[in-house]
Chains A and B, each alone.
Chain A
């Protein structure tokens, strides 16, 4: 694949992951885990789901930083004169 296209698709995939994963985590943990399985009250479920969403957000960002850190090590700039 062209380097430009592969960079774009990687960044697009990570962006969607970073934006969507906390929102999905919030609602999935709220409705299925805390309210469904554990039977926590609505306020408690909201708070713990929010904490889970923030944790998920940082995991997603950490994955992106990890990828970016080792991506650029591999891609050496090609000198074109």
Chain B
């Protein structure tokens, strides 16, 4: 077994792929958790006075949850492709690490943006309901940042 290892497919090759799968879900969950918690405090503060707006203001939480699903998708894709070292080249490991980091850190950034913009957005919507459309647009642009990372990650994975 050991003599089949080559320079292009060493025994530590899957390490990079596994780290890619782990970082994809870790960092995007970190971003989603921050987005959920930060906008959740905003929802809790504003729904004391305007409980009928809760359904509108859950949207930042839903969008933060979607960030974590991006990371989950890439993580599952990478894990389904990791095999024993001689058939798993180092090149593939690097690609998988890059895919995981791409979606992970984009998700982290998008989650931060959703959290901060969602917190201020739901507090503002409680006082001026016409702000709602603006909040949705800002949240969509924040969430698209995570989607860009997902696109790059799928492109890297498919290489």
Chain A residues at the B interface, C-beta cutoff of 8 Å: 3, 7, 10-11, 15, 18-19, 22, 26, 42-43, 46-47, 50-51, 53-54, 57, 61, 64-65, 67-69, 71-72, 75, 77
Contact = CB atoms under 8 A, between A and B. Distances in A.
Contacts, number: 64
A47 B59 contact: no
A50 B129 CA distance: 36
B63 interface: yes
Contact of B58 (A3, A11, A42, A77): A11
Contacts of B136: 65, 69
A21 to B, nearest CB: 11
A65 B69 contact: no
Contacts of A61: 62-63, 66
Interface stretch (B31-39, B48-56, B111-119): B48-56
B150 interface: yes
B55 A50 contact: no
Given A46-B80, A47-B77, A53-B73, A64 B56 contact: no
Contacts of B158: 43, 47
Interface of B: 50, 52-56, 58-59, 62-63, 65-66, 69-70, 73-74, 76-77, 80-81, 129, 132, 136, 147, 150, 154, 157-158
Contacts of B59: 64-65, 68
A50 B63 CA distance: 18
B67 to A, nearest CB: 11
Interface centre among B73, B77, B154, B158 (most CB of A within 10 A): B73
10 contacts: A7-B54, A11-B54, A42-B80, A43-B81, A46-B81, A51-B154, A54-B69, A54-B147, A69-B136, A72-B53
Contacts of A67: 55
Contacts of B54: 7, 11
Nearest to A64: B62
A72 B52 contact: yes
Contacts of B69: 22, 54, 57
A11 B55 contact: yes
